[in-house]
Amino acid sequence: MSSPAPSAPRTGGRDVAVVAFAQSNHTRHTDQLSEVELVMPVLHDVLKQTGLTANRIGFTCSGSSDYLAGRAFSFTMALDGVGAWPPISESHVEMDGAWALYEAWVKLRTGEADTALVYSYGKSSPGSVRDVLTRQLDPYTLAPLWPDSIALAALQARALIDAGLTDERRLARTAVRSRRAATANPHAQLRGSADVEDLLRRPYEVEPLRRHDCPPISDGAAAVVLAAGDAARALHANPAWIRGVDHRIEAHQPGVRDLTDSPSTRLAATAAGAFDAPFDAAELHAPFTAQEVVLRRALDLDDRVRVNPSGGPLAANPVMAAGLIRLGEAAALIHRGEAGRVLAHATSGPCLQQNLVAVLENTGGGTR
Amino acid sequence: MPPEVLSAPLIVEFPFTRSTGPVLGAFLTGLRERVVLGARGSDGRVLCPPAEYDPVTAAELTELVPLGQLGTVTTWAWNERPRPYQPLDTPFAWVLVRLDGADTALLHALDAPRHAVRTGMRVAIRWTEERSGAITDIACFEPVPEAADAPDAAPPTRAEAPPHDHGR
């Protein structure tokens, strides 16, 4: 960890809340849609929820990947769809939309805008996403070996099994729980699951992971609207206030890290105030079953906390949007009055290298 | 029925050359000569692959340490169906290997039967015949017969490597 431990809580700045969330119905293929066509209905949906129009948004921030689009500056196409004329204040991160949300949160906290539109999208279907993801790795020592995302996750899963922290049966239970939870989520791609015994009879993908331990390959998009202070209160009866949000990163080489632990998650959670009070639910961005084990340990989540009531990324995993969806689903629980305090987590990089933690609550005031 | 979708192949390229610098450059050049180098970190730990900056303190690292050709598997994953460009085209294990003299592990492939692979097993580097200064100069790792792993049988660099000492 290259950063010192956080000390005093952040003070000052304005309270910021999620006031709207929308997402696509995530699917395995969207051959007939461009990325712009994938994201536009979601943007219309999220703006309609607030009654805002694009020209009344103070700041726009998006997350996507040129490696999925197969062309440079691909986000400008989506931005044209949003409407960038007359000139708007906007930014883009080549990261999951959760990090775009973080940038927008900073913008609102500092008073540079009162509202923000955050969106992200990923269309994985044109290529082989598990191979494409090898291109995010160290170009000298890792990428030339083409270790795909499932292989790296399998190394992490083996380390967890060796350490006695999980086993294949418990991992299968996580898969079943997630995909059965997704039966209540009309946007999820995989809804429902065979039982554990059936799953354990199926072949390995990369041992010790079977297909059910891996996320589906998804095309999809998501968007949220953030608003500060009175603007948030005017836009939603139950704003989901962001009490804290922080992100931290670890060394890139998987062989430098203890793959059974996530000190970056714990550090981000501490800075976000996650350990100050218990949670009603948590939305964790753990694309592989074994990664939920790591995150539960880092976040001290016990069985009383509902984890991924939406089904989580095991039920739909649009790369670049799946982290933002965790924040959106967490906010939606508060919007609907189903939870008072929810943890949202997003990850990036191989084997949970980088992690973002946000704490959302139904009561305003006192943002850390 | 959705409309017919037009499609065409797209080759994405990264048409730049990069210099590798004093740490990775030395590591890659070493591989060409069948030598593996690690970098000594701020706390004395030896990192392999070497890092230019310490993963904990971010201090610039300059001291390079030759490592052994043998190592220990710290975790593994069985790859029954190798994918394009991966190190072997027959079933193999992905492994993290802590080379003798290093404190961190290197990712590579292990050419061994499934039943022989376990955490803690001893493995040795199998070099490619023609080496170019790349991580792929290591063709893969292979199991070490127990008799061959006696101290006398180890290559000289292993005996010279510093002992593990996390207390430094």
Supply the DSSP string of A240-272, one letter for each residue: EEEEEEEEEE--S-TTTS-TT--HHHHHHHHHH
Q: Which structural domains are found in chain A, ordered by start?
A: 16-128+217-235 (3.40.47.10), 129-213+242-361 (3.40.47.10)
Flag whether B167 is in a domain. no
Task: Return mean pLDDT, chain A.
Answer: 94
Contact B86 A145 (CB under 8 A): yes
Angular region, A86: left φ>0, alpha ψ -120 to 50, beta rest: beta
Choose the most confident range, by mean pLDDT, from A28-37, A50-59, B26-35. B26-35
Rounded average pLDDT over A107-112: 95
Q: Mind telling me how many Å the CA of A155 is from chain B's nearest CA?
A: 5
What token pair was written down for A167?
A: 């086993």
Counted residue by residue, chain B has a size of: 168
Q: What is the model's pLDDT at position A24?
A: 97
Give the whole-number percent of chain B exceeding pLDDT 70.
86
C-beta atoms of B51 and A256 within 8 A? yes
- Statement: residue B12 has pLDDT above 90: no
Extract the tokens encoding A300: 């001290």
Pick the most confident of A246-255, A357-366, B2-11.
A246-255
Distance CA A54, CA A50 (A): 11
The pLDDT value given to residue B162: 41
State whether B83 and A131 contact (CB < 8 Å). yes
**What's the total number of domains in chain B?**
1
pLDDT tens, residue by residue, B127-166:
999 999 999 999 999 999 876 776 554 444 443 444 443 3
The predicted structure's pLDDT at residue A6: 40
Using an 8 Å CB-CB cutoff, list chain B residues near A155: 75-77, 94, 96, 107
Residue B10 falls within a domain, yes or no?
A: no
The two most distant CA atoms of chain B are separated, in Å, by 71
CA distance B146 to chain A (A): 22
What single string gives the DSSP state of each residue in B30-79? HHHTT--EEEE-TTSPEESS--SB-TTT--B---EEE--SEEEEEEEEEE
Q: How far apart are CA A172 and CA A57, in angstroms?
A: 44
Q: What is the pLDDT of residue A352?
A: 98
CA distance A37 to B75: 43
At B161, give phi and psi (nearest 5°).
-65, 145
**DSSP tag of A317:** -
Q: Within a domain: residue B116?
A: yes
What was the pLDDT predicted at B134? Answer: 97
A323: number of Cβ within 10 Å: 30
Give the per-residue pLDDT at A225: 98
- Residue A249 has φ and ψ, to the nearest 5°, of -130, 150
Which run of H or of E encompasses A213?
none
The range of the structural domain enclosing residue B133 comes to 21-149
Q: Is residue B4 part of a domain?
A: no
Residue A93's pLDDT is 96
Return the pLDDT at B168.
Answer: 31
Specify the pLDDT at position A36.
92
Q: Would you say residue B166 lies in a domain?
A: no
Look at residue B128 and tell me if it is in a domain: yes
> Using CA atoms, how far apart are residues A231 and A223, in angstroms rounded to an integer?
18
For chain A, the residues whose C-beta falls within 8 A of a C-beta of chain B are 1-2, 31-32, 67, 70, 130-131, 138-142, 144-148, 151-152, 154-159, 162, 203-204, 206-209, 250-251, 253-256, 259
Among candidate residues A284, A292, A256, A268, the one with its CA nearest the CA of residue A355: A268
More confident residue, A67 or A99: A99
Q: Do the Cβ atoms of B109 and A141 come within 8 Å?
A: no
pLDDT confidence of residue A303: 87
Are A255 and B104 an interchain contact pair (Cβ–Cβ within 8 Å)?
yes
Instruction: For residue B9, tell me if it sits in a domain.
Output: no
pLDDT of residue A258: 97
Cβ A257 vs Cβ A38: under 8 Å: no
A151 with B77: Cβ contact below 8 A: yes
Closest residue in B to A139 (Cα) is: B135
Contact assessment for residue A291 and residue A27, using Cβ atoms and an 8 Å cutoff? no
| Per-residue pLDDT band at B21 (split at 50, 70, 90) | very high
A294: pLDDT strictly greater than 50: yes
pLDDT (0 to 100) of residue B76: 98
Of the candidates A241, A255, A181, A278, which has an alpha carbon nearest to the alpha carbon of residue A363?
A241
Residue A281 structure tokens: 């639910």
Q: In what order do the strands lie in the sheet with B64-66?
A: B46-47, B37-40, B64-66
Q: Quick one: pLDDT at residue B13?
A: 74
Residue B97 lies in a domain: yes
B residues 39-98 near A, CB within 8 Å?
47-49, 51, 55-58, 74-80, 83-87, 94, 96-98
